[in-house]
């Protein structure tokens, strides 16, 4: 039997997920609406209700959609506060205390963990001349670390509210002038003729991008949506262009703990896959792997359900991979992947 101390983080993590889903219950829809539409509704609601005040008894500083809005001081942002507190427990640095978060999503990880991922898997592939696309910009927390490192950054999202939040947050970024910044809504709102499970990226971007990244997004989508997303990312890239992707790894100890704590899949939780599934799908679509993450030793030692590792949770729970667009001859061979025969 686990001691109370080791079991507490798991219980708290599970309760946080449940409380977020419950607090955003208005975004929950029947599953036959489709994964993409469900995600769009959830993240619209998340952005509308989010504000960055993490003080337990502090003033409510307004929502991401309307930062100047005045709401009662006795309505603290409990679920953001809980996420930020839980993140601090797993941070390898001194637990941080942020009375105010500047960007949606900063409650999901420590600044150090996010910066390490960007430093290891994004920045090495950028130049001052790079044309870059972020798939799923959210509130702009990754884009804020990429601005100034490339010539052009195009931010895509299916959530109009998240896109508004990112646009507002990044407008005041000191490096905004050094990078041409563009925001594009994709999905059914931008093209109502598309099936609910499909998102197509602008044709104007096809074959024009040096690097595409999609971080902490694919953990919320099912395998068919993952497959469609990979195909769309490939269309964006120039020949030999590269992309960075992250998925939730069910085979890692930390990933298994999170999976086992979920009663079922919801977009508010994670959709887990294995690295083998991801790598196989990448090959079918027409990518080859350049680099992928390894599970840190501190996470390998975790038992299936108990214990708490100190370290970068993204490396311990997820699978991170950089891929390169296959050369034309390989793309021709893998074009049959769309027919399921490659």
Q: How many CB atoms lie within 10 A of CB 265?
A: 15
C-alpha dihedral sign at 91, 310, 212, 192 = negative
pLDDT beneath 70: ranges in the chain? 1-32, 53-79, 85-100, 188-197, 301-310, 329-342
CB 212 within 8 A of CB 136: no
Residue with tokens 């919320």: 220
**Could you tell me which residues come within 8 angstroms of residue 102 by beta carbon, excluding any fewer than 6 positions away?**
52, 169
Tokens linked to 21: 């889903």
The gap from C-alpha 210 to its chain's centroid, in whole angstroms, comes to 20
Tell me what percent of the residues of the chain surpass a pLDDT of 70.
Answer: 68
Other CB atoms within a 10 A radius of the CB of residue 248 amount to: 22
Q: What pLDDT score was predicted for residue 34?
A: 83
Homologous superfamily, domain 111-339: Vaccinia Virus protein VP39 (3.40.50.150)
Burial class (CB in 10 A: 0-12, 13-18, 19+), 164: buried
CA-CA distance, 263 to 268, in Å (whole number)? Answer: 12
Among 73, 117, 80, 115, which residue's Cα sits nearest to residue 101?
Answer: 80
Q: Judge if pTM exceeds 0.85.
A: no
| 275, two tokens | 């690295």
C-alpha closest to that of 250 among 185, 195, 295: 295
Neighbours of 128 (CB within 10 A): 10
CB 140 within 8 A of CB 170: yes
Using CB atoms within 10 Å of the CB of residue 184, give its burial: 0 to 12 exposed, 13 to 18 middle, 19+ buried.
middle
Residues 281-307 have pLDDT tens digits of 999 999 999 999 999 887 876 544 445
Domain ranges of the chain: 4-90, 111-339
The beta strand positions in 103-143, using DSSP E, are 131-135
32: which residues sit within 8 A by CB, 6+ positions away? none
| Predicted local distance difference test score (pLDDT) of residue 139 | 96
């Amino acid at each position: 039997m686990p001691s109370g101390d080791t079991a507490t983080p798991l219980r708290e993590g599970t309760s946080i997920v449940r409380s977020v889903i419950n607090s955003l219950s208005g975004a929950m829809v029947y599953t036959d609406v489709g994964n993409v539409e469900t995600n769009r509704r959830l993240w619209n609601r998340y952005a509308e209700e989010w504000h960055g005040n993490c003080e337990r008894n502090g003033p409510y500083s307004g929502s991401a959609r309307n930062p100047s809005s005045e709401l009662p001081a006795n309505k603290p942002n409990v679920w953001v506060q809980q996420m930020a507190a839980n993140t601090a427990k797993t941070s390898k640095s001194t637990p941080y205390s942020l009375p105010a978060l500047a960007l949606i999503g900063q409650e999901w990880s420590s600044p150090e963990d996010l910066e390490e991922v960007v430093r290891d898997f994004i920045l090495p592939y950028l130049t001052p001349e790079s044309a870059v696309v972020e798939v799923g910009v959210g509130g702009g927390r990754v884009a804020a670390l990429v601005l100034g490192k490339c010539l052009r950054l195009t931010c895509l999202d299916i959530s109009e509210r998240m896109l508004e939040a990112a646009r507002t947050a990044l407008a005041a970024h000191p490096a905004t002038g050094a990078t041409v910044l563009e925001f594009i809504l994709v999905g059914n709102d931008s093209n109502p003729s598309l099936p609910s499970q499909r998102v197509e990226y602008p044709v104007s971007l096809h074959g024009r991008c040096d690097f595409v990244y999609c971080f902490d997004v694919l953990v919320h989508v099912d395998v068919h949506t993952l497959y469609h997303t990979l195909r769309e990312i490939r269309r964006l890239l120039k020949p030999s262009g590269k992309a960075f992707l992250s998925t939730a790894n069910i085979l890692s100890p930390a990933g298994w703990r999170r999976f086992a704590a979920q009663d079922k899949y919801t977009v508010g939780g994670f959709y887990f896959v294995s690295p083998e599934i991801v790598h196989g799908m990448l090959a079918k679509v027409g990518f080859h792997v350049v680099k992928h993450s390894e599970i840190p030793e501190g996470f390998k030692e975790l038992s299936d359900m108990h214990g708490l590792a100190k370290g970068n949770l993204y490396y311990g729970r997820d699978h991170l991979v950089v891929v390169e667009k296959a050369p034309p001859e390989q793309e021709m061979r893998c074009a049959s992947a769309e027919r399921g025969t490659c």
